[in-house]
Amino acid sequence: MNNIFFQDPWWLILIKVVALFVILLVWTIFNVWYERRLVGKMQHRLGPIMNGPFGLGQALADGAKLLVKEDFRPKNADKIIFSLAPVLTAVAAFTCWTVIPFGGEVTMFGVETRLQLTDLPVAAVFILATASIGIYGIVLAGWAGNSTYSFLGSIRSTAQMISYEISMGLSMVGVFLMAGSMSTHEIVEAQRETLTFGIPFTDMTFNFGLPGWFALLLFPSFVIYAISMVGETNRAPFDLPECESELVSGYITEYSGFRYALYFLAEYINMATVSAVCTTLFLGGYLTPWPLNWLADSVPFFGFLNNPWLGPIWFILKVQLLISVFVWLRGTLPRLRYDQFMDLGWKVLIEVSLVWIIVVALVANTEFRNATIGLALLLGIVVYWIWGANRPQSTEPEIPSSPNEVYDAFAGGYPVPPMPGQQLPELVGVVAGARAAEETDPVVVDEVIVEGKES
Query: Which pLDDT does position 448 carry in this prediction?
Result: 44
**Residue 323 pLDDT greater than 90, yes or no:** yes
pLDDT digits (tens, 9 = 90+) for 173-186: 999 988 888 999 99
Q: Is 147 left (phi over 0), alpha (psi -120 to 50) or beta?
A: beta
On whether the CB atoms of residues 91 and 273 are closer than 8 A, the answer is no
Output the pLDDT for position 440. 61
On the question of pLDDT at 446 being above 50, the answer is: no
- Quote the pLDDT of residue 388: 55
Segments making up each domain of the chain, as ranges: 3-336, 405-454
What does the alpha-carbon distance between residue 214 and residue 190 come to, in Å, rounded to a whole number?
9
Contact 434, 445 (CB under 8 A): yes
Q: What angle do CA 93, 152, 130 make, to 5 degrees?
A: 20
In the chain, count H helices and then E strands. Answer: 17, 6
pLDDT of residue 365: 57
Higher-scoring residue by pLDDT: 340, 321: 321
Residues near 438 by beta carbon (within 8 Å), at least 6 away in sequence: 445
Residues contacting residue 217 through CB under 8 Å, at least 6 positions apart: 178
What rounded mean pLDDT belongs to the chain?
Answer: 79
Tell whether the model's pLDDT for residue 444 goes beyond 70.
Answer: no
At residue 253's C-alpha, the angle toward residues 247 and 257, to 5°, is 155
Span 263-321, pLDDT tens digits: 888 888 999 999 999 999 999 889 888 877 777 777 777 778 888 888 899 999 999 99
Half-sphere exposure of 222 (CA within 13 A, CB side): 14
The 10 Å CB-count burial string (b at 16+, else e) for 379-393 is eebeeeeeeeeeeee
- Mapped onto helix, strand or coil, the DSSP state of residue 409 is coil
Listing DSSP states for 221-266 in one string gives HHHHHHHHHHHHTT-TTS-GGG-HHHHTTGGGTT--HHHHHHHHHH
Model pLDDT for residues 400-426, shown as the tens digit of each residue: 555 556 667 767 666 777 776 676 666
Average pLDDT over residues 366-391: 56
pLDDT digits (tens, 9 = 90+) for 354-372: 888 888 887 765 544 445 5
- List, for residues 114-130, the tens digit of each pLDDT value: 889 888 889 999 998 89
Q: What is the pLDDT of residue 14?
A: 92
* 161 CB-near residues (< 8 Å, 6+ apart): 135, 138, 231, 232, 234
Q: Which of the 8 DSSP states describes residue 34?
A: H
Nearest to 198 by CA among 185, 207, 187, 188: 207
Torsion of CA 106, 109, 115, 118, to 10 degrees: 120
Residue 347: φ, ψ to 5°: -100, -10
**pLDDT-based confidence at residue 33 (cuts at 50, 70, 90):** very high
The number of residues making up the chain comes to 455
- Whole-model pTM: value is 0.77
- Split at pLDDT 50, 70, 90, the class of 223 is very high
